[in-house]
């Protein structure tokens, strides 16, 4: 199983991601793109900003790709995660999987994005109208950053 | 022995991206974290995971001289 | 729900397919590509050749896109099917679905390709080393075309 | 009344892409197909679906003057 996992800056190169998994023995390519949505939890999102522990994030993505290849008969995997600012409508993450048949390509791709969100060391900060906040339960208690906490409560 | 520290996301904003620490032989990652929390009680509520030399470890993992210890808030990539 | 369904000649324009479903309210884009595999049922495939009842195929794809939007909260759908010759490794069909969240994008995309294969009036003829054959149970009885039937049995 | 015929894939190779037929009022698609099979017994084994004016119909569908009737072998797109 061939794999190519990268953390990158700037727009995700989706055609290159797909080209990386094309394979004469594959009948199916499934691609997932995660894009910045303009709303989240009732907030009007203006952009996301991603930070990664780059070498470990790439190594963890490689491990996931290998694990997927043990679970499903897939041919190739390509994963890319963008860091820095990601405006609304642009992709922060791309995962492409090729396989002989479509079921395993769909299942492996879905599993990879689920697992990526759980374990790959990447963090997003959401910038919205009136503030910003780290996403994920960063704290057991209430949000620590006064500006963000205040802004969440600001009526629109 | 000397270990290097790395902090990310919300933790990085409080602790800076990097640090260094001298610890006794056999010190575990969990013990090191509790020492940091004693100095910075505002960290107490933080949910944290640990990686040593770019591999996830449990709090009971014993450190070695020269290790790079990374402290992660819950990840939120994707 | 916006949709764009086309039968086309020449290479599938995958970036355009994905661009057609980008949406500021979408957090997920799932894309399926069906590609010509170099083997099928033990035969060494050299290319596929597709034929469609073009206006009805486009109308049926539109109907499927609408049906998917009734079953899942999706934002946009783009479907394209290539006709004519499709060499090994190239895509014959592409389906892109955007949605607020990934689960519905995966499920709708998978459902759309399953249904497309069942009902959209498109047919493929497989060209392989030594012959050619229409795919699908075109006949209740044995293969009708002497050349294809003979070739299937030819040892490699 | 007059109906236009369309054939696809393996059926097109035997019947040609298009045809025309005069049928009695009230003729159904299934009756028309059986008439074709009587003239071309080699079609008897063919699994076929019908579309009238680009919409799938059942064999009991009654034809109207000017209809376009399409005969499909099992589809295999994708």
Tens of pLDDT along C82-124?
999 999 999 999 999 999 999 999 999 999 999 999 999 999 9
The predicted-structure confidence for C141-151, as pLDDT tens digits, reads as follows: 333 343 333 33
Longest CA–CA span in chain D (Å) reads 38
Q: Which two tokens stand for residue B59?
A: 């709090």
CA-CA-CA-CA torsion sign (A110, A111, A114, A115): negative
Does A143 score more than 90 pLDDT? no
Q: With contacts defined as CB-CB under 8 Å, which chain B residues touch A55?
A: 54
Chains D and B touch (3+ CB pairs under 8 A): no
Q: What is the pLDDT of residues A101-127, one digit of tens each?
A: 999 999 999 999 999 999 999 999 999
Are B43 and B19 within 8 A, CB to CB? no
Name the strands in the sheet holding B68-72, side by side, starting at the edge strand that comes first in the sequence.
B18-22, B2-7, B68-72, B49-52, B55-57
DSSP letter at D65? T
- Could you tell me the pLDDT band of residue C1, with boundaries at 50, 70 and 90? confident
Which residues of chain D have a CB within 8 Å of the CB of C51?
Answer: 8-9, 12
Stretch A58-79: mean pLDDT, rounded?
Answer: 98
A32 and B CB contact within 8 Å: no
Q: What is the pLDDT of residue C143?
A: 39
Instruction: Residue D65: count other Cβ atoms within 10 Å of its Cβ.
Output: 10
Confidence (pLDDT) at C138: 63
Enclosing H/E stretch for A12: none
Strands C39-40 and C43-52: antiparallel
**Does residue C155 carry a pLDDT above 60?**
no
User: In whole numbers, what is the pLDDT of chain A averaged over residues?
Assistant: 90
| Helical segments of chain D, H only | 9-15, 29-39
pLDDT at residue number C57? 98
pLDDT tens digits in sequence order for chain B, 78 residues long: 999 999 999 999 999 999 999 999 999 999 999 999 999 999 998 899 999 999 999 999 999 999 999 999 999 999
Structure token digits, residue D45: 């084994």
Chains contacting chain A through 3 or more C-beta pairs under 8 A:
B, C
Question: Which positions in chain C touch D51 (Cβ < 8 Å)?
Answer: 53, 56, 121
Gyration radius of chain B over CA positions: 12
Segment D24-40, tens digit of pLDDT: 999 999 999 999 999 99
For residue range C15-54, what is the model confidence (pLDDT) as tens digits? 999 999 999 999 999 999 999 999 999 999 999 999 999 9
Give me the residues paired with residue C76 across strands: C2, C98
Q: Is the pLDDT confidence value at D2 over 80?
A: yes
φ, ψ of residue A130 to 5 degrees: the values are 105, 5
Contact with chain B for residue A121, Cβ under 8 A:
yes
Among chain A residues, CA nearest to B50 = A121
pLDDT category, A136, cuts 50, 70, 90? confident
Region A119-148 average pLDDT: 75
Nearest to D14 by CA among D49, D39, D51: D39
User: Best interface-test mutation with D: which of C7, C41, C56 has the largest number of D CBs within 10 A?
Assistant: C56
C-chain residue closest to D11, CA distance: C138
The answer to whether residues C79 and C31 touch, using CB atoms and an 8 Å cutoff, is no
**CA separation, residue B67 to residues B20, B49, D13 (Å):** 10, 16, 72
Would you place residue A139 in the very low, low, confident or very high pLDDT band (cuts 50, 70, 90)? Answer: low
């Amino acid at each position: 199983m061939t794999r190519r996992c990268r953390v990158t800056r700037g727009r995700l190169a989706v055609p290159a991601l797909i080209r990386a998994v094309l394979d004469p023995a594959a009948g199916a390519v499934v691609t997932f793109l995660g894009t910045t949505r303009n709303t989240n939890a009732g907030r009007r999102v203006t952009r996301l900003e991603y930070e990664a522990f780059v070498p470990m994030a790439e190594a963890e993505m490689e491990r996931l790709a290998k694990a997927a290849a043990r679970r499903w008969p897939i041919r190739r995997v390509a994963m890319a995660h963008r860091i820095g600012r990601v405006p609304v409508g642009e992709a922060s993450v791309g995962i492409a999987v090729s396989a002989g048949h479509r079921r395993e390509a769909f299942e492996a791709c879905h599993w990879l994005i689920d697992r990526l969100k759980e374990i790959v060391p990447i963090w997003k900060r959401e910038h919205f109208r009136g503030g910003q906040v780290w996403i994920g339960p960063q704290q057991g208690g209430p949000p620590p950053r006064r500006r963000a906490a205040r802004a969440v409560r600001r009526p629109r | 022995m000397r270990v290097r520290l790395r902090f990310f996301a919300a933790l990085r904003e409080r602790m800076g991206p990097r640090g260094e620490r001298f610890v006794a032989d056999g010190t575990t990652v969990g013990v090191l974290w509790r020492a940091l929390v004693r100095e910075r009680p505002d960290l107490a509520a933080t949910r944290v995971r640990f990686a040593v030399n770019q591999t996830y470890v449990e709090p009971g993992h014993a450190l070695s001289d020269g290790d790079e210890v990374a402290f992660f808030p819950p990840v939120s990539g994707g």
